[in-house]
Amino acid sequence: MLPARSILKGKNGIFATLLAIQLVIKLHDKYFVPYISEAQLQQATQNIAQQIAGDFKDETPMFVVVLNGAFIFASDLIKQYPGNCEVSFVKLSSYYGLSSTGIVKTLLDVSDQVEGKSVIVVEDIVDTGNTLEELISMFSNLNIKQLKIAAMFYKSEAYDGDYNIDYVGMEIPDKFIVGYGLDYNELGRNLPEVYKIKEGEMRNLVLFGPPGAGKGTQAEFLKEKYNLIHISTGVVFRYNIKNETGLGKLARTYIDAGDLVPDEVTIDMLKDEVLKHPDANGFIFDGFPRTEAQAAALDELLDQLGETVNGCIALEVDTEVLVQRLLERGKTSGRSDDQDEDKIRNRFIEYNEKTAVLKDYYTGQGKFFAVDGVGEISEITKRLSKVIDTL
């Protein structure tokens, strides 16, 4: 899901890019995160409208809308339906809070105008099938020509009924969702996108250290051990430029002009990576942030997700050890800046002037942890894990 963006002035003087819609919302006592975009919903609705039109091109069907949840879906469906149709309404309920009560109540009966007609029941969601069973029973006592079911969402894992769902917008896992007519205790129906309930807390780590400290190596081990998503800023940056994404093209204009790529562009790239993994247990941010301003921007991004940086872990290695590591790496890496000692030492100066100030930033939040980065790889991983297990 890639919502529209707007650019706002960050609290620390940089332009921090924020989403035009909220990344996390709170309804009553629960938090929800983005799940299905408005564009995806409209496409699914259009597909159903076309399918129904193909099946009923020689007659005028009657859409019977199940209130309250299906009213937005039904409105879009009927607007996109290319042929003639009639509309009626029925109201049933089996939900309270996050789950079905199992008891279906008829609050508004179906009109007797359906007699002799082809009926398409418009449902917001089919999960247990209890409501659907009540509907079928209701229509079995009426003299209708045929009965079809159109549902925007279908939870096949939860469905325990025998009746076929004729038209399905999207098949989804058995997760509680709100928006596009669906509610949590009557809140959330007016949301144009669909959100799913936020489950558990994420573990988000910033891993940093000077060039050659072994961040990339350790990140690979840690992402497997803790089931985290490793986001390397360098990899993300190169991907966007190579694949000429919108952000990649924008970054290229700055590079070609000999300018530094602004923080807001890098944050946008980072944000897109985060949004690709809505079910992630957490992230390892490698190579970002590099400055206090970037750290503040990352805090703003995670805050929009209802999350935070749990810890910033620095791999500490003596400068002379790092110089020898990089010179050795330069024999095989092909990188010119790994083969020139003066260039290596200049990189350490830049690191100390900019990135090292992150220590003060995260120390002020009680989130900074230093780990000895010298020794066998497995031993360093154990030291890192000991810190992470306390977060």
Rg value, the chain, Cα: 27
Query: Which residues make beta-bridge pairs with 370?
Result: 314
pLDDT the model gives residue 342: 87
pLDDT the model gives residue 156: 92
Q: Which residues are marked as active site? A: 215, 290, 329, 335, 347
Residue ranges in 18-169 assigned as alpha helix (H):
38-55, 71-80, 130-140
Q: Which residue has the tokens 């940056």?
A: 237
Torsion sign across C-alpha atoms 65, 68, 71, 72: negative
**Tens of pLDDT, residues 77-99:** 999 999 999 999 988 765 444 44
d(CA 314, CA 337): 22
- Going residue by residue through the chain, which has 391 residues, state the pLDDT in tens, using 9 for 90 and above: 333 333 333 333 322 333 334 567 889 988 888 889 999 999 999 999 999 999 999 999 999 999 889 999 999 999 999 999 999 998 876 544 444 444 445 444 566 678 899 999 999 999 988 888 888 888 888 889 999 999 999 999 999 888 899 999 999 999 899 999 999 999 999 999 999 987 777 899 999 888 889 998 999 999 999 999 999 988 999 999 999 999 999 999 988 888 888 888 998 999 889 888 877 889 999 988 988 889 999 998 888 777 899 999 999 999 899 889 888 888 887 777 778 888 888 888 888 877 778 899 999 999 999 999 999 999 999 999 999 999 8
d(CA 243, CA 226): 30
pLDDT the model gives residue 22: 52
Q: Rounded to the nearest 5°, which phi and psi values hold at 188?
A: 100, -10
Domain ranges of the chain: 36-197, 201-388
pLDDT the model gives residue 12: 33
* Kind and range of the H or E run holding 369: strand 368-372
Fold of 201-388: Rossmann fold (3.40.50)
pLDDT the model gives residue 111: 62
201-388 has the same fold as 36-197 = yes
Max Cα-Cα span within the chain: 89
**What number of other Cβ atoms are within 10 A of residue 314's Cβ?**
22
Angle formed by the axes of helices 319-333 and 341-353, nearest 10°: 130
Fold of 36-197: Rossmann fold (3.40.50)
